[in-house]
Amino acid sequence: MAIGQDAPLMPKATAVWLVDNTSLSFEQIAAFCRLHPLEVKAIADGDSAQGIKGLDPVQTGQLTREEIDKAEADPAHRLKIAAPKVRVPEAKKKGPRYTPVSKRQDRPNAILWLLRNHPELKDAQIIRLVGTTKTTIQAIRDRTHWNSPNLQPADPVTLGLCSQIELDLEVEKAARESGPIAPAEGAAEPATLLSVEESLAPGPAADEPEEDEGEVDPDSVFSGLKAWRRDGEDSEGDDSDENR
């Protein structure tokens, strides 16, 4: 087995194809596929890898036909995996944000802006946004920073220390973790829409009976009416006597 050789994609499927389509020895196939020769023999005998469809290493660009012919002609030759035509760069480990030297002097102003406008952000989030340290954040928060009297809050997006998308994502994340914000003491509660049942229900004024102005005595009403009619008849009689 070749030490340090890269293993092909899907080693068992590749071994199945090489067993079925070449005259390579078990040792040659095992060295290329990074398998044990007994495991390759079990594949050839049908005791292993049952149901696995063979994978052509020539079609996938892992072997060349010339390399297979050379190995079939020389049992001591070991197959070498073909160099990939496209190199995929390795993923870099995510480290602290790098801030250019020309913009490092703007970081305290950006930190002050974040502390004032987004107090819900955690120190770790501010560190990710502007690439600072927790000690610097605490010094600016406590006003113990060496340049604290001269600091002016400035938007980190405007300064080019982070993008607006990055800032929005961190603010949204902090809002989700902190939960709903309780209204300040003395502030009016936000108005909410009433349900259908509440809007159709009669108000308290409709349920309350009108104020009773006092019971009315019918006798007093009719007696006053009779006195009024009697006075009217007397005045009519006086007018008729004067006309005579």
Q: Is the pLDDT of residue 183 over 90?
A: no
- Average pLDDT for residues 67-85, to the nearest whole number? 87
Which residue in this structure is represented by tokens 């009773």? 212
**Which pLDDT does position 108 carry in this prediction?**
93
CA distance 180 to 176: 8
- The percentage of the chain sitting over the pLDDT mark of 70, rounded to a whole number, equals 62
CA distances from 9 to 21, 54, 63 (A): 18, 12, 11
Q: Is the pLDDT of residue 2 over 50?
A: no
**Which pLDDT does position 117 carry in this prediction?**
93
CA distance 129 to 158: 13
**Which pLDDT does position 3 carry in this prediction?**
40
- Average pLDDT for residues 166-176, to the nearest whole number? 90
Q: Kindly state the helix (H) or strand (E) to which residue 220 belongs, with its residue range.
A: helix 218-243
Strongest mean pLDDT among 99-103, 147-151, 184-188: 147-151
**Which pLDDT does position 9 carry in this prediction?**
82
- Average pLDDT for residues 212-232, to the nearest whole number? 62
Which amino acid belongs to residue 239?
A: D
Average pLDDT, the chain: 78
